[in-house]
Amino acid sequence: MKIGIATLVCSSVRTAPDNNMLTALAMLAEAGYDCAEYNDQSLPQFFTAREEELLEVKKKAEAVNVGLHSAHSPCGDYDLTSLDDEDYEKALEVHLRSVEALALVGVEHFVVHQVGGPKEEWARRGERAVAALEALCQRASEVDIKILIENLKGNNCEQLRQLIEKIGSPVLGICLDIGHANCYNPPAATEIEVAGEDLWSLHAHDNHGPGSGDEHLPPGWGTVNWQEVVGALEKVAYAGPFMMEVIRENPAVAGLSPAETLRISFEQAKKILAEE
């Protein structure tokens, strides 16, 4: 299985502002990674970048042989389920623009983050999510990108599959966030089996279970049962990479440099994949 990691770990406007995507891709290649997820905090931010900046990112990825498997959608102010009309339209416009920008870079999957939430809000927000995903899938199908929806608190893979079935687009699948499953939802191995053939990518990271918070630790640093996870991935014939999403804002990781965090995460991934 290929090993990848989100560029958030070494190129972030908050934790590593001096490292742009060109630097980050070189760092990933040196650490042995096969592929990356282009994070929305990495510079240039794809949803605002100029075409020439995006082409430089594509050129660098090709030069260092690090595949751009996925990209993470803009968060914060860009909520695709917002009940405020102006906020919703702004979020949809930014996401649609992102699809076109990522197609230019050569990214294969666009992970859309904010299409879930607490069950008590879903009845009101669900219609907005469906409309936004339909528009995104239409645009993605025109530029050969796949849209992935991510499990969040109160929004597990069973609900995501229902959403996929309702929309009925061949370019819509699931990115399973293993850390979210360990914190909020059914166990990650169960979620993998529920996602089945719709599982096209991962956010692999660790935490200490319910109540610990979404720690985004390197795999093996928390309580996730990684042997069960890898066994479930094999059971569903998962064909994507072991894509990690480690964040250096947690106190346990904050003292590490980007290069150290990349090295440790890669070693942990290799160990986990070799144990099964």
Q: Quickly list DSSP for 211-266.
A: TS----BPTTSSS--HHHHHHHHHHTT--S-EEE---TTSHHHHTS-HHHHHHHHH
Does the pLDDT at position 88 exceed 70? yes
In whole angstroms, what is the distance from residue 36 CA to residue 28 CA? Answer: 8
Host domain of residue 98? 3-275
Q: Residue 250 is encoded by which pair of tokens?
A: 């947690």
For residue 51, give the CATH number of its domain.
3.20.20.150
Beta bridge partners of 166: none
- pLDDT tier, 125 (very low <50, low <70, confident <90, very high otherwise): confident
Indicate the helix (H) or strand (E) that contains 275: helix 258-275
Q: Which pLDDT does position 106 carry in this prediction? A: 97
Read off the amino acid at residue 108. Answer: E
Distance from C-alpha of 244 to C-alpha of 36, rounded to nearest angstrom: 9
CA-CA distance, 6 to 203, in Å (whole number)?
8
Select from 21, 15, 18 the least CA-distant residue to 7. Answer: 21
Supply 44's token pair. 């240039």
Q: Is 126 exposed, middle or buried (0-12, 13-18, 19+ CB in 10 A)?
A: middle
Q: What does the DSSP 8-state code read for residue 206?
A: B
Between 80 and 31, whose confidence is greater? 31
Q: What's phi and psi for 265, nearest 5 deg?
A: -65, -40
Tell me the pLDDT band of 152, cut-offs 50, 70 and 90: confident
> How many of the other CB atoms lie within 10 Å of CB of 65?
11
Percent of the chain with pLDDT over 90: 82
What pLDDT digit, counting tens, does each position of 7-48 carry?
999 999 999 999 999 999 999 999 999 999 999 999 999 999
| pLDDT for res 117 | 54
The model's pTM is 0.95
Nearest to 59 by CA among 21, 8, 17, 2: 21
Q: What is the pLDDT of residues 206-236, one digit of tens each?
A: 999 998 889 999 999 999 999 999 999 999 9
Q: Considering the chain, what is the average pLDDT of its residues?
A: 94
- Residue 116: predicted pLDDT: 57
Cα separations in angstroms, 83 against 89, 103, 138, 221: 10, 29, 22, 38
- How far apart are alpha carbons 244 and 224 in whole angstroms? 13
Kindly tell me if the per-residue pLDDT of 267 is higher than 70: yes
pLDDT for the residue numbered 186: 86
More reliable by pLDDT, 139 or 127: 139
At 239 the pLDDT is 97
- Contacts (Cβ under 8 Å, ≥6 apart) of 162: none
Query: What average pLDDT does range 149-158 have in this prediction?
Result: 88
Count the domains in the chain: 1
Calculate the CA 116 to chain-centre distance: 15
**Size of the chain in residues:** 276
CA distance linking residue 5 with residue 204, whole number of Å: 9
- pLDDT above 80: residue 272: yes
